[in-house]
Structure 1
C-alpha cells in the first residue's frame, strides 16, 4: 500500500475546511437535518468529493460537480440550494484541486483560517445565547433539550440550534392543504 501523497492530503484537508464552513451544510449538520448521523453524512460527502476529484483529475466537469453537490445536499440533508452556493463551492473545489496538484497550499491555509474563524464565532455566539460561561462548547452534541425554550414537535430532532415553531397548515375552503416552501435559514 503506497503512502498518500502530500498533495492529496492537503486537498482532503482543504475540502474538509471548506465543507465545515459552508453555511448550508453547517446548518444541516448542526440542525441534524440529515438525521442523527448528519456528521457521518458530511464526512461521507467529503470523501465522495475527494474521490470524485481523484477519479476525474483535471477533467472535472463543473456542471457535473455542481449537480453532485445539489443532489447530495437534497438527498442526504433535504436541502434545496436556492442560494446558488453550489456554484461557489464548485469553483473553490476546482481551484483547491489545481493548487494542490501544483504543491501550493495557500488556499488550504486560507480555508483553514476561515473555518476556524467561523467555528470560533459560532461557539462564542452559542455561549452567549445559552448563557454559558464555559469556554468548552465542544460538548454541544449532547442532549440539551431541557435547556431549550422552543417546544419540539414529534418528528423534529433536538439540537443545539433553536428551531422556529412549526406553523399551522394553510387549508383552503375545499379542504386542500397549501404547501409552503421552506425559506432560507439564516
Structure 2
C-alpha cells in the first residue's frame, strides 16, 4: 500500500494546476479545442508531465530544458508556436513554486489560486456580457427587420398613389484627347 503524497507535493501539483489554468496561451488552446476534443485532458496530462519532471529532477531542473519541454508540448499537442515568450515566465514561476513548496511555504500557491479565480471569474463575466449583448442584438435585429418591413410598405403605398419618379438620363462619357474616359463622381442626395 502506497503512502499518501507529502503535503509539499500536493501543494506543488495544486500550484501547477492553477498556473496552467491561467496561462493565457494554454487557456485559449483548451477553450478553442486546438488540441482536439480532448484538449482539457491534454492539459491535465501536461500538468502531470511537468509535476513528474520536477519529481525526477528536483532542484537540478535545467531552466532551458524546462522551457523546451513547455514549447514542445504546446507545439505538439496544441499546434501553438509560443512567440510571446510566455514559456520563460511559466518556467520561472514553476521553479519558484517548486522551491517554495519544498520549503513548506505555500504563499505562491495561494497567489496562483487567487489569480486563477480572478481569471475564471473575469471569463465568466465576459461570457455573460457577451451572451447578454448577443441577446440584445437579436432583439435589435428583429426590430430592424420590422422597421424595414414598415419602410417597404410605406414605399409601396407611396408609389401606388403617385406616378413613378422620372429617371435621369445617364450623362455621355467624357473622353479625353488620349482616348481615356474621365470618371465623373456623382453627387449624393
TM (norm. structure 1) is: 0.70
Structure-1 separation of matches of 2:77 and 2:102 = 30
Which stretches of structure 1, 4 residues or more, deviate above 2 A after TM superposition? none
Partner of 2:77: 76
Partner of 1:15: 16
Structure-1 separation of matches of 2:3 and 2:85 = 38
Partner of 1:5: 6
In the TM superposition, residue 3 of structure 1 has moved relative to its aligned partner by 1.2
Matches within 5 A, 1:138-149: none
* Partner secondary structure for residue 131 of structure 1: helix
Structure 2: gaps (5+ residues): 134-189
* Partner secondary structure for residue 104 of structure 2: coil
Structure-2 separation of matches of 1:48 and 1:69 = 10
Structure (1 or 2) with the greater helix fraction: 2
Structure-2 separation of matches of 1:56 and 1:122 = 35
Partner of 1:168: none
Structure-1 separation of matches of 2:123 and 2:106 = 26
In the TM superposition, residue 30 of structure 1 has moved relative to its aligned partner by 0.3
Rg larger for: 2
Structure-2 separation of matches of 1:43 and 1:131 = 32
Tell me, yes or no, if structure 1 residue 94 matches structure 2 residue 95: yes
Structure 1: gaps (5+ residues): 133-186
Matches within 5 A, 1:39-58: 39-58=40-59
In the TM superposition, residue 2 of structure 1 has moved relative to its aligned partner by 1.3
Equivalenced residues, count: 132
* Partner secondary structure for residue 127 of structure 1: helix
Partner of 2:38: 37
Partner of 1:118: 119
RMSD: 0.8
- Deviation sequence 1:11-64 (CA, Å, 0-9, x none): 000000000000000000000000000000000000000000000000000000
